[in-house]
Amino acid sequence: MLKTKRQSSLTRDYYKHFPTFFSQMVSLLTCLFVAVASKPVNMESYTAGAKFDCLLFDMDDTLYPLSLGINLACRKNIQDYMISKLQIEESLVPKMCLDLYKEYGTTMAGLKVCVFSVLVLGYDLDYDDFHACVHGTLPYEKLKPDPVLRQLLLSLPQRKIIFTNSDKAHAATVLKKLGLEDCFEGVICFETLNPSSAEEHGQERDREDSDETDGGSSADSDSPACHKRILCKPSLESMEAVIEIAKLDPKKTVFFDDSARNIASGKAAGLHTVIVGSSALVAGADVALESIHNIKEALPELWEAGEHVQAVGLRSAAVETTVLA
């Protein structure tokens, strides 16, 4: 009986003081909430910690599907160029074209190699002539504006850059046909990584003038220009050059490409990699996309904190596309 009365007394005391205790707890939590809510947020620090700050896109067969046939038309034009311009036996061209592509990354890069293009063929490859012949008759009419992809790209808060092995004229035509010419910060293309012959000669003259002024001589001034290989994907050197040119942080850059070889090189350079046009992962790929249109489903994290990125004044997604050099 005593125990029961004592329990009742304790219960009454608990409920007697509970309102005061509850009120104090509410006041304490309110103060904490106000203190946290009123604390200024460092948006710049927030975005600096974002997982990705740049998206690097291949162009051909990545921003549009392989099924359009642009790739096949380009291959045919390359073979026609080798036959008509370089006078290579027609029966040898298909295999030669494939072998050069496998060995040097692109057929053009293989044709540029000194021992092949000059000593064997007696022909010094002209970049502009090659690009004009290969891209001049491509069925660009098959490329149509892609408003869905355009909206996806413009909604992404990160920097967006094109990295293509093609020349700037072809890149400009493709992006315009797709209606994406204002979706990228810039284009890194053939000319970016491989200065024109005229520029090379001008630089060589500058070096010679400098040597004469210094009373010295250039050790390699007599070296033929063909000794210099074309820099292009999938070489690791090209990836590293792009990282330097665009001032990228590899750990915060996502690289999209349809080529397994390019993806492997991108991964070797430290990039986060996405193979496009495949439902299966390839060596070095972190993500596989059957279509570039699936980017939001596969990589929703790219849109996280997008409003904050825009709030601190990072580069706009819709800017004039320029060739980075």
Assess if residue 319 is contained within a domain: yes
In order along its 325 residues, the chain shows pLDDT tens digits of 444 555 555 445 545 555 555 566 545 555 444 343 333 333 333 344 469 999 999 999 999 999 999 999 999 999 999 999 988 999 999 999 999 988 888 888 888 874 455 545 545 688 999 999 999 999 999 999 999 999 999 999 999 999 999 999 999 999 999 999 999 999 999 999 998 754 554 454 455 455 544 544 443 444 444 457 899 999 999 999 999 999 999 999 999 999 999 999 999 999 999 999 999 999 999 999 999 999 999 999 999 855 444 433 333 333 334 455 4
Assess if residue 203 is contained within a domain: no
Please state the pTM of the whole predicted model.
0.73
Q: What's the structural domain count of the chain?
A: 1
Assess if residue 58 is contained within a domain: yes
Cβ atoms 174, 308 nearer than 8 A: no
Tokens of 314: 């990072």
Q: How far apart are CA 308 and CA 325, in angstroms?
A: 30
Q: How far apart are CA 179 and CA 183, in angstroms?
A: 9
Mark out the alpha helices in the chain (DSSP H runs).
Answer: 2-38, 43-48, 70-84, 93-104, 107-112, 114, 127-135, 147-155, 168-178, 190-193, 197-214, 236-245, 260-268, 295-298, 306-311
Which CATH number covers residue 254?
3.40.50.1000
Tokens of 311: 């709030």
Q: How far apart are CA 166 and CA 186, in angstroms?
A: 14
The range of the structural domain enclosing residue 304 comes to 44-65+144-194+227-325
